[in-house]
A and B are shown apart, each in its own frame.
Chain A
Amino acid sequence: MTNLEKYNKIFRGMFRKTDEELPALKYRGIALWDSIGHMDLMGELEETFDIRIETQDVLDFTSYEKGKEVLRRYGVEI
């Protein structure tokens, strides 16, 4: 699986969305992606990509697209 496929799989599973719906997803934009959903998302990403995201980056992770930039800071190219 490519990094993008892994990334999308996590989003689809957590927020019950299709691949087509992902690019529009924003933190606090849907009920499931609230602060609880966000912490679960961070946990999944950390486990999948074997990284540890810092608190500032946790809060900079404001959308599906922005998240790709954040992961790049940890050497994960999506």
Chain B
Amino acid sequence: MTYDELLQRGPYELGSAEKREVYSELLSDLTDRHRECCAPYDRCCELLGDRRGMRRSPETVPMVPVSLFKKAELCSVPAEEVFKTMTSSGTTGQQPSRIFLDRKTAEWQQRTLQRIVSSYIGEKRIPMLIVDSPNVLHDRNLFSARGAGILGFSIFGAKRQYALNENMELDTEAVRSFLEKAAGGPVLVFGFTYMIWKYFYRPLKESGLRLPLENGFLIHGGGWKKLQNEAVSAEDFRDGLFEVCGIRDVRNYYGMAEQTGCIYMECECGHLHVSDYSEILIRDMEDFSVCETGKEGVIQVITPMAWSYPGHSILTEDKGMILGEDDCPCGRKGKYFAITGRIPKAEIRGCSDTYEG
């Protein structure tokens, strides 16, 4: 099966045995391809004991620490085929990651996201309120993870309105007139968790204004870290938003700029779901063995979508645990999991330490 064929299926129909079979084949071929086309990655694999041409499984595909994308230019296509470069500062705040996309990978990312999100909001495009400032897409050839998220989700928006102005202030007038045109119908509200809280919830709460978003569907991502520092829980977040705009459907998602498109949406039961287009393993923090269901460890993200750069198997700096597989009451197949935090000061060290430029 190719990734294109995989995209014809799903997004949540592969059982664990079939998925393992499909992934072992796709990931083995992809690892060989990236070793062939990306010299720094090839050296990493060599150090990690991977042999070219070997049959690999999701558990044995070499994993690259996410920090390596900050340190090295990892690209598996010729420079003239790079269509877009994405950057992400991550949370360590130093050198940004750079992800090089060719046309095919960019298209796969968009199709992947469309397949996953349609499972929650349907195929119809609806008015979309973006809780951010239009400046975020200042340079269209070089964009941030935030910009990439907004662009990716824009395919679900029939008409789009930015809620914030250039100074990051809530543009109440524009938002009101936008919602008037939506006339109480469904509206997609999209933004980053912290941005929504700080620049949308707070100003509304402080001014006492209430927005008519009873039929809204809010999707937010980007991590809870900043809100946890302010002691805002997921429940506070939901309750707060309900209070200022009557919105009931609030969904979190988890995703990485390094695997844009392959997001993990929160289902009706409050679980983050792994789609057919990616896989998650939890690694023990001491010996990197694969953790059993219910045991906390470091999250490894895997996807056969990463074609133009060797990002098909990445060890993140996030901690989490698998909650179950193929048996969520929402009916979606695949693993479901919870995020439990981040690794303090990114302690994971792997082949990035041995990379010598």
Contacts and interface: CB of A to CB of B under 8 A. Distances in A.
B154 A39 contact: yes
A66 to B, nearest CB: 13
B84 A54 contact: no
A35 B151 contact: yes
Contact of B125 (A29, A53, A62): A53
A55 B151 contact: no
Contacts of B152: 35
A53 B221 CA distance: 26
A58 B125 CA distance: 10
B160 A55 contact: no
A46 B127 CA distance: 13
Nearest to B83: A28
A5 B118 CA distance: 33
A40 to B, nearest CB: 10
A52 B125 contact: yes
A55 B103 contact: no
B159 interface: yes
Contact of B114 (A31, A34, A46, A55): A55
Contact of A55 (B83, B106, B155, B159): B155
Contacts of B125: 52-55, 58
Interface residues of A, number: 17
Contact of B159 (A29, A34, A43): A43
A56 interface: yes
B140 A34 contact: yes
Most buried by B among A28, A35, A59: A35
Given A28-B83, A55-B114, A56-B123, A39 B155 contact: yes
Nearest to B117: A55
B22 interface: no
Nearest to B114: A55
B158 A28 contact: no
A52 B84 CA distance: 28
Contacts of A62: 107
A53 B114 CA distance: 14
Nearest to B125: A55
Contact of B155 (A28, A46, A58): A58
B190 interface: no
Interface string A27-42: 0110100111001000
A58 to B, nearest CB: 5
Nearest to B160: A39
A46 B158 contact: yes
B124 interface: yes
B57 interface: no
A55 B84 contact: no
A67 to B, nearest CB: 15
Contacts of A53: 125
B141 A31 contact: yes
Contacts of A34: 83-84, 140
Interface string B88-132: 000000000000000100110011001000100001110000000
B160 A52 contact: no
A52 B152 CA distance: 19
Contact of B107 (A28, A36, A46): A28
Interface in B124-168: 124-125, 137, 140-141, 151-152, 154-160
Interface string A19-33: 000000000110100
Closest 7 CB pairs of A and B: A54-B123, A28-B103, A35-B151, A39-B154, A55-B114, A58-B155, A55-B155
22 contacts: A28-B103, A28-B107, A29-B103, A34-B84, A35-B106, A35-B110, A35-B152, A35-B154, A36-B140, A36-B151, A39-B157, A52-B125, A52-B158, A53-B125, A54-B123, A54-B124, A55-B114, A55-B124, A56-B123, A58-B155, A59-B114, A62-B107
Given A31-B141, A59-B107, 6 more contacts: A36-B151, A39-B155, A39-B160, A56-B114, A58-B155, A59-B111
